[in-house]
Amino acid sequence: MERLEAAMAKARAARKATKEGDAPDHEPRQASQPETEPARAAPNARPDALWSGLKEISISNAQARKMRLGALMGAEFAVPYDILRTRVRRQMRAEGWKRLAVTSPNKACGKTTVSLNLALAMARQADLRVMLLDFDLRRPSLAGLMGQQGGAYDLAALLAGERDFSEHAVRFGPNLAIGLNRRAVPHSAEMLLAPSTASVLDEIESRFKPDVIIFDTAPMMGNDDNLAFLGQVDCALLVAAADSTSARQVDSSERDLSGLTNVLGTVMNKCRYLDERDGYGSEYY
Ligand SMILES: Nc1ncnc2c1ncn2[C@@H]1O[C@H](COP(=O)(O)OP(=O)(O)O)[C@@H](O)[C@H]1O
Ligand SMILES: [Mg+2]
């Protein structure tokens, strides 16, 4: 913990030293310089060719229903995610933000469910390139949600520069690229804070040129992963579970989150009154 705080303080001091003029609440991220070439050198391919070269996957209707992928089921199931998508997009575009973290006060609030639905809703806009990365390194679960249990997806190898994103990522439809993970990372905060993580992300962004990158991250409480990572994003959404997150937990997580990045709002998930038929829904404020 002390090492992390020292590293955060050092990073903050470095940013201050390069700052010009008045700083906004959260200074814009600085693109880091890759320290080393990635293991497999980036082909000089155009972004379109890179996207179409990613391994394509599909999600069955049964999987979509089982995992509450309302954004894929369409009709009224998609509406809350369409609204969330449009509000988030408007705000991010107005600010020129690209990187969005999805977090929650504690576990099982629906971060992964909301992240994937939001990414799917965004990707329905054909002119957007959307990326979704499983950055909850302690409890990776996006692969399971998408029915992709088979692959040996190793995010730690990607972040260490040992594997190229073009080999690691899968593609759903033409414009949604997803970085999955099947292995929990033991020293997750250290990995998130490592210079190689920052340079790998910058390199992915500069080659693939996504319009939005959504990070499904760890919960705010009970670990230091977001303290380590949120300096790498532009903004965040907090997902709270109506049936299990207390108002105090929401308040304190919002406060902590706003000390780390720009908070777009809180999604109240698992709201029974919003959908009487299956008893669940989401609301954004
Ligand atoms: N709106 C919802 N209504 C009911 N259950 C939900 C809803 N969203 C998510 N869940 C369920 O809650 C559990 C935790 O969701 P998940 O997205 O994995 O949370 P997290 O990523 O925050 O741990 C899963 O079993 C998921 O199916
Ligand atoms: Mg999760």
- Does CATH number 3.40.50.300 belong to domain 2-8+68-284? yes
Q: How far apart are CA 84 and CA 275, in angstroms?
A: 16
The DSSP 8-state label assigned to residue 274 in this structure reads G
Cα 225 to Cα 4: distance, rounded to the nearest angstrom: 10
- Residues making up the chain, counted from first to last: 285
Q: Is the predicted pLDDT of residue 232 greater than 80, yes or no?
A: yes
Integer angstrom CA distances of residue 161 from 34, 42, 195, 197: 10, 11, 11, 8
Closest ligand 1 atom number to CA of residue 219: 22
pTM of this structure: 0.87
Residue 95 has pLDDT above 70, yes or no: yes
- Residue 182 CB neighbour total at 10 angstroms: 18
Say what the pLDDT of residue 278 is.
Answer: 47
pLDDT (tens digit per residue) in 2-21: 444 554 454 444 434 433 44
Q: What is the pLDDT of residue 38?
A: 44
Q: Each residue of 101-159: pLDDT tens digit? A: 999 999 999 999 999 999 999 999 999 999 999 999 999 999 999 999 888 899 999 99
Residue 150 pLDDT: 83
Tell me what the mean pLDDT of segment 253-271 comes to: 96
Q: Give tens-digit pLDDT for 34-48.
A: 444 444 445 567 889
Residues 181-193 have pLDDT tens digits of 999 999 999 999 9
- How far apart are the C-alpha atoms of 154 and 167, rounded to whole Å? 11
What is the token pair recorded at 158? 């990607």
- With a cut of 50, say whether residue 250 has pLDDT above it: yes
Q: Is the pLDDT of residue 82 over 80?
A: yes
64 in Cβ contact with 73 (< 8 Å)? yes
Task: Give the pLDDT mean for 213-217.
Answer: 98
Q: Kindly tell me the burial class for residue 73, based on how many C-beta atoms sit within 10 Å of its own C-beta (0-12, 13-18, 19 or more).
A: middle
Q: What is the pLDDT of residue 6?
A: 53
What residue spans define the domains of the chain?
A: 2-8+68-284
Token match 């309302």: residue? 70
Nearest CA to ligand 1 atom 17: 110
Residue 132 phi/psi, 5° resolution?
Answer: -130, 125
107 lines ligand 1 (CB under 6 A): yes
For ligand 1, whether the C-beta of 104 sits within 6 Å is: yes
- Average pLDDT over every residue of 165-172: 97
* 185 CA to centre of own chain: 16
CA angle, residues 108, 210, 237, in degrees to nearest 5: 30
Placement of tokens 């992915």 in the chain:
204
Is there an atom of ligand 1 within 6 Å of 110 CB? yes
The whole-number pLDDT of residue 56 equals: 97
Q: Is the C-beta atom of 112 inside 6 A of ligand 1?
A: yes
Average pLDDT in the chain: 87
Q: Compute the distance between CA of residue 214 and CA of residue 125 in angstroms, rounded to an integer.
A: 15
* Pocket residue to mutate for ligand 1, from 113, 138, 272, most atoms within 8 A of Cβ: 113
115 lines ligand 1 (CB under 6 A): no
Atom of ligand 1 minimally distant from the CA of 141: 18
**Ligand 1: residue whose CA is nearest its atom 5:** 270
181 Cβ inside 6 Å of ligand 1: no
Mean pLDDT across the stretch 233-239? 98
From the list 35, 52, 219, the residue with the least C-alpha distance to 139 is 219
282 lines ligand 1 (CB under 6 A): yes
Per-residue pLDDT at 271? 84
Strand 262-269 to 282-284 pairing: antiparallel
Q: How far apart are the two ends of the chain, measured CA to CA in Å?
A: 33
pLDDT band at 216 (very low <50, low <70, confident <90, very high): very high
The answer to whether the CB of 280 is under 6 A from ligand 1 is yes
The amino acid at residue 81 is: Y
CA distances 269 to 166, 198, 223, Å, are: 33, 31, 22
Determine which residue's CA is closest to atom 23 belonging to ligand 1.
108
Determine the distance separating the centroid of ligand 2 and the alpha carbon of 143, expressed in angstroms: 10
Q: In a 3-state reduction of DSSP, which class is residue 213?
A: strand
